[in-house]
Structure 1
Amino acid sequence: MALSQEFFHTELENSELEALHRSPSIEYSFYNAVRSGDMETVLQNCSEDAFINLEGTGVLSRDSVTNIKYHFVVTAALLTRYCIDGGLEPEQAYRLSDFYILKMDSCTTVRQVADLHHVMAKDFTGKMILQKKSSILSKPVMQCVDYIYAHIKERITIQDLADYTGLSTNYLSRVFKQNLGVSISDYIRQQKIEKATHLLKYSEQSIIDIANYLSFSSQSHFIQIFEGFIGMTPKKYRDKYYKSMW
Structure 2
Amino acid sequence: MGSIDLNREWLAAEFVNQEMATRHRGLEPEFDFYDAIATGNLEAVKENCKKKMFVDMNGVGKLSRDPLRNMKYHFVVTAAMIVRYCVHNGMTQEKAYSLSDFYILKADETMGIEELNRIHDEMCIDICSQMKEIRKQQILSKPIVLCIDYIYSHIHYRITIEELAEHLDISTSYLSRLFKKEMGIHVSEYINELKIEQAKNMLQYSDLKIIDIANYLSYSSQSHFIQVFQKITGLTPHKFRQKNFRNTWNKMPVPGESVSNE
The TM-score normalised by the length of structure 2 is 0.52
Displacement over 3 Å in runs of 4+: 32-38, 57-60, 73-89, 110-114, 128-135, 243-246
With over 3 angstroms needed to count, the CA separation of the structure-2 counterparts of 1:83 and 1:203, relative to structure 1, is closer
CA contact (8 A) 2:147 2:164 kept: yes
CA shift digits 1:49-91 (9 cap, x unpaired) = xxxxxxxx7999xxx98121222355457668988998968xx
With over 3 angstroms needed to count, the CA separation of the structure-2 counterparts of 1:88 and 1:225, relative to structure 1, is closer
Partner residue of 2:198?
195
Deviates more, 1:80-89 or 1:227-236: 80-89
Secondary structure of the residue aligned to 1:239 is helix
Partner residue of 1:52?
none
Structure-to-structure mapping, 1:1-246, within 5 angstroms = 36=40, 66-75=66-75, 111=109, 125=127, 129=131, 132=135, 136-243=139-246
The TM-score normalised by the length of structure 1 is 0.55
Which AA in structure 1 matches 2:144? V
Q: In structure 1, what is the Cα distance between the partners aligned to 2:84 and 2:237? A: 32
Structure 1 residue 165: deviation in Å? 0.6
Task: Give the structure with higher Rg (CA).
Answer: 1
Secondary structure of the residue aligned to 1:188 is helix
Structure 1 segments unaligned to the other structure (5+ residues): 1-31, 39-56, 90-99, 105-109
Q: In structure 1, what is the Cα distance between the partners aligned to 2:84 and 2:197? A: 21
Q: Which has the higher helix share?
A: 1
Structure 1 residue 243: deviation in Å? 4.2
Identity of aligned residues (%): 38
Structure 1 residue 214: deviation in Å? 0.1
Secondary structure of the residue aligned to 2:173 is helix
Partner residue of 1:107?
none
CA contact (8 A) 2:37 2:86 kept: no
Number of residue-to-residue matches in the alignment:
171
With over 3 angstroms needed to count, the CA separation of the structure-2 counterparts of 1:133 and 1:236, relative to structure 1, is farther
Secondary structure of the residue aligned to 1:229 is helix
The CA RMSD measured in Å over matched residues stands at: 4.6
Q: In structure 2, what is the Cα distance between the partners aligned to 1:171 and 1:163? A: 12
Q: In structure 1, what is the Cα distance between the partners aligned to 2:148 and 2:223? A: 26
Q: In structure 2, what is the Cα distance between the partners aligned to 1:140 and 1:208? A: 34
Q: In structure 1, what is the Cα distance between the partners aligned to 2:239 and 2:170? A: 41
